[in-house]
Amino acid sequence: MKIFHILVLFLSLISAAHANYNHIKLAIFDDPRPDPSCNENSQQFVNSYLSGINTAITVASEMGFSITEREFFHQNNLTSIIQQATNAKLWNPDIIIGLSTSNDFLMSKAFFGDQVILSISATDSAIVNLPTGFYSLGIPDTQAVKTIIKFISNHYPNSNLFITSAAESKESVDFGDLLAQSFKKQFKTKSVIERKFLSDDMNNLDISKFMAGYQKNDVIVIMSIGYDSAIELMNKISANLRPIKPIFITSTDNWGNNLSPKNMNGNYDVYRIDTLSGGEDTKDYKLFLDNYKKIYHAMPKDKISFVTYQAVMSFVDALKKYPHEGISSSTKQNLLNSYLLALKYNPNWYRPPYYMVYKIENKNEIFYEKIH
């Protein structure tokens, strides 16, 4: 009889551990604006951001995982970031996702640790130095730089490079520097000019001085903190260079749809190399779309919904494929162990499978090509 009671107790402990393992506290820590310098459509992006999370929670529930989610959205300033990071830690979540900018993600190691911390889109090459458990679903800048150089080589083989970077963004500056170094190394006879600007001071920018050294047919790379400010700068440069028709490339994220966020004023060619989305032809996207339409009875309005959906599904899928259960292990620890196993087998776990290139015409993003 004593052995029977011990066995019942043991099975109860396993059952309790498994039940706890299947209930996950998810914290969303982010500034849900694609361009902090512009507040246009901010509520729409919040709704789209959270609708992707909600869709993933529904799919996870059908897989046997219960997720309780809480948002800790912050403003684009240190005081707000610290306050919301403190609030998030007090809630004691099992996993934290969001941290869409490299600046936030790199800073987050001062606040979080010893668990899975997921960025939906950070790309700075320095993130490889973050502690164990920190991972970004964004394609690293080292790969994006190679892709941009490949695109330029294929379509504008005789062009030099003119790089513009938002000075207040570490991610933009680091990307610009890395692109310049890589381009110079690969094309020793070509010139590279780098310029930095402040997004908040763009209206006072002396464009003539800023564009000094530009030559016709140079490819101008725009590294801004958001899509809105990227187009704003393109418009200013285009007006200054008239009647020359400049060529622009940007890898700025588009959280929205196939409409550019601002009107293109001027005559120029612009390509956006997307490192955020991609995968709309996959089974993952079909599952997302089917469930999204069941919940909202409509098509997704913005691309960010699939991005946040994938972030949640990345840890749900890790738990399913690489379970690591134990009586003494917490859900937080199980999540970390499973995610690290997933990354061991696939270092690019849940990252976009390829780059999408769009050409922007008449305020519409037109698909141009895929780059693998």
Per-residue pLDDT of 196-253, as tens digits, reads 999 888 889 999 999 999 999 999 999 998 888 899 999 999 999 999 999 999 988 8
Residue linked to tokens 């997307």: 274
Report which of 144, 107, 141, 100 is spatially closest to residue 122, judged by C-alpha positions: 100
Q: In the chain, what are the domains?
A: 2-138+280-345 (3.40.50.2300), 141-274 (3.40.50.2300)
How much is the pTM? 0.89
Q: Please give the Cα distance from 215 to 280 (Å, whole number).
A: 38
State mean pLDDT over 281-301: 94
State mean pLDDT over 345-366: 89
Nearest-5° Cα angle at 54, 53 to 55: 90
Q: Please give the Cα distance from 280 to 352 (Å, whole number).
A: 10
Whole-number mean pLDDT of the chain?
89
142 SS3 class = helix
Q: Between β-strands 95-98 and 116-119, what pairing exists: parallel, antiparallel or unpaired?
A: parallel
The two three-digit tokens of residue 282, written as one number = 């996959």
207 SS3 class = helix
How many residues appear in the chain?
372
Q: Please give the Cα distance from 171 to 154 (Å, whole number).
A: 26
* Position 257 pLDDT exceeds 70: yes
Burial of 77 (0-12, 13-18, 19+ CB in 10 A): exposed
Going by pLDDT thresholds of 50, 70 and 90, the confidence category of residue 328 is: low
Contact 73, 261 (CB under 8 A): no
